[in-house]
Amino acid sequence: DAGVTQSPTHLIKTRGQQVTLRCSPKSGHDTVSWYQQALGQGPQFIFQYYEEEERQRGNFPDRFSGHQFPNYSSELNVNALLLGDSALYLCASTGGGRNSPLHFGNGTRLTVT
């Protein structure tokens, strides 16, 4: 039973570029959340997708957008990259309601130069 899978594992981009990160949820899960984890910090909530719609959004600018597909997989897009966007981006999935525990993937390490 595959857990949450994310691709790519590492990515290097230049300021001003755009990036797309991908996530496949754990089997049986229908809800996907994205978190940003800066070095030495805890994860910060970006947004959550359910039924192909953004259900809740954290305190991130519009440069951060996402999508969920009918098979429940998800993408995170970041436009006009800034140096400060360098972080580990974590995808988490859950199923079964609001308080079902999140299961995380291993993340995508994004470096912006």
Partner 1 sequence: GEDVEQSLFLSVREGDSSVINCTYTDSSSTYLYWYKQEPGAGLQLLTYIFSNMDMKQDQRLTVLLNKKDKHLSLRIADTQTGDSAIYFCAESMSSSYKLIFGSGTRLLVRP
DSSP 44-88: EEEEEEETTEEEEE-S--TTEEEEE-TTS-EEEEE-S--GGG-EE
Contacts of 44 (CB under 8 A, 6+ apart): 35, 36, 37, 38, 58, 59
CB of 90: closest distance to partner 1 in angstroms?
6
The residue ranges that bind partner 1 (CB under 8 A) are: 4, 6, 33, 40-45, 48, 55-56, 58, 90, 92, 98-99, 101-107
CB of 46: closest distance to partner 1 in angstroms?
9
CB of 16: closest distance to partner 1 in angstroms?
28
- If the CB atoms of residues 70 and 101 are measured against partner 1, the closer one turns out to be 101
- If the CB atoms of residues 15 and 55 are measured against partner 1, the closer one turns out to be 55
